Structures are given as C-alpha cells and as structure tokens.
Amino acid sequence: MGRSRINIAIDGHSSAGKSTMAKTLAKELNYVYIDTGAMYRAATLHAMKERSVVDTEVNEVGLRAGLERMFLAFKYNPKTEQSEIHLNGVNVEKEIRSMDVANKVSLVARVPEVRTKLVAIQQRMAEAGGVVMDGRDIGTVVLPNAELKVFMTADPETRAYRRLRELQLAGKDVSYDDVLDNVLSRDRIDSERAVAPLRQADDAVVVDNSDLTVEEQFNFLLSLARTRMADRT
C-alpha cells in the first residue's frame, strides 16, 4: 500500500504568490508547509555570519566547509501560528527577510554543494508524504514524484504591483519602477542559473494568476489536490 497523504510541489516566479497559496493549502489539508526559499536564505545568513560572503564576494571554499556547521530546522511558533526557520538553534525567520540577505541569496543558491545539502533535507522531510513545498526546483529536482505539481506565475507588472503594495504596507518607500526591475532581474537569475534553474516540470499544472483572486486560485488548487488524493485510494 502506498502513502495515503500526497506531496504537493509548488514552483514558479518570485512574487507569484506561491507561499500564500502553499500555506493556505497546507492548513486546509492539515499538511506540513515547507518554505524552501527560507532554507536558502538561512544558508545565506550562515555564510554571511561566517564571512564566506562579504558584499558580493563569495569564498566558495569557506562556504562549502561551513556547510558542516549549519543545522536547519523548522519549528512551530504558537504565537505566529507558523512554522519558522531556525539556524543552529536560533530563530532567524525575521532576519532572513532583510534586503541584505535577499541581495546575496542568489550567489549562495547557485553553489552546487549548498543545493545538494538542502535538497537532501527537503527530500527527507517529504518522505512520509503530507507536505506542501514551495520553491523553484521542487517539481523538477526535489520531488519529481510529487502527486501534484503546480507552476505559478503572473505577468511581471502584476507581480511588481503586488510586491510594491506589500512593501508600502510595511512602510518601505520604494518606486514601482525599482520593484519591477527587481522582479525582472530575479526572474532572469532564477531561470538562467546553471544549477537547478527555474523551469516548469512537464507534468506541472500551470496557473497564471494575473486575473485570479486568491480565493479563486485556492479553490482551483484545492479541488486539484482532492482529485489527486482520491486517485490514490
């Protein structure tokens, strides 16, 4: 008999709303949500603390050696009702969202040894099923056998506008043009990197949510998930 709980892989462009969708689905299904972007961000913070990444200079030898001293874990925080990432026992959920980490993460995420280590952890977390995982290479590399793969996107202008609103709500003073530039450059870096570039798995369901509300999208994905679950029984 196979697993009764399926795995769901959600990939797609940055600011396409992957994490909102993955979190909501996990909650509804009583599954575990795994934010793999948080893991790459925490690996970046670790490298920054060890000074293997300074400004845009990466000391790859130091960075690789430092991986042995990096322990990542997700722990549930009852206050925020979210699972939050811990680096060597310290909750770094807030710290990994800084601009400093955001600007350096693509340098660290492209190092093959970093990806090998994080992918192995992610695969272990999904072994028993019942996981909703979001990232860039989940359907293609991490969970090629996931029962449901979703590739989420929206046009760059829509994503930039959503991101701008988020930043403004957080009190940040930024212009639409700067945010659009950042969205376009992250798309380029994510899609063009040599190791595990962002690409759609052949069997992924593509969801362009430019003209969908969060609720419409959620209902669509939930019905897909329920169909795939029923297919297994």
Rounded distance, CA 186 to CA 30, Å?
A: 32
Instruction: Kindly state the number of chain residues that form the binding site for ligand DC, as judged by CB under 6 A.
Output: 12
For residue 116, what are its two tokens? 């090998």
Under DSSP, the state recorded for 158 is H
Write out the H or E segment, with its range, that includes residue 207.
Answer: strand 205-208
Q: State which residue, 6 or 133, has the beta carbon closest to ligand DC.
A: 133
Min dist. Cβ of residue 226 to ligand DC (A): 25
Task: Say if strands 131-135 and 7-12 run parallel, antiparallel, or are unpaired.
Answer: parallel
Phi-psi region of 89 (alpha: psi -120 to 50; beta: other; left: phi over 0): left
In SS3 terms, 35-62 reads as EHHHHHHHHHHHHHHCCCEECCEECHHH
Q: State which residue, 185 or 227, has the beta carbon closest to ligand DC.
A: 185
Rounded distance, CA 109 to CA 75, Å?
A: 22
Rounded distance, CA 39 to CA 74, Å?
A: 9
Min dist. Cβ of residue 4 to ligand DC (A): 26
Say if residues 191 and 137 touch (Cβ distance below 8 Å): no
190 binds ligand DC (CB under 6 A): yes
Q: Segment 35-54, which members bind ligand DC (CB under 6 A)?
A: 36-37, 40-41
Q: State which residue, 40 or 151, has the beta carbon closest to ligand DC.
A: 40
Min dist. Cβ of residue 34 to ligand DC (A): 10
Min dist. Cβ of residue 227 to ligand DC (A): 25
Q: State which residue, 49 or 193, has the beta carbon closest to ligand DC.
A: 193
Q: State which residue, 23 or 226, has the beta carbon closest to ligand DC.
A: 23
Min dist. Cβ of residue 123 to ligand DC (A): 12
Q: Segment 82-141, which members bind ligand DC (CB under 6 A)?
A: 105-106, 109, 135-137
Binding site for ligand DC (CB under 6 A): 14, 36-37, 40-41, 105-106, 109, 135-137, 190
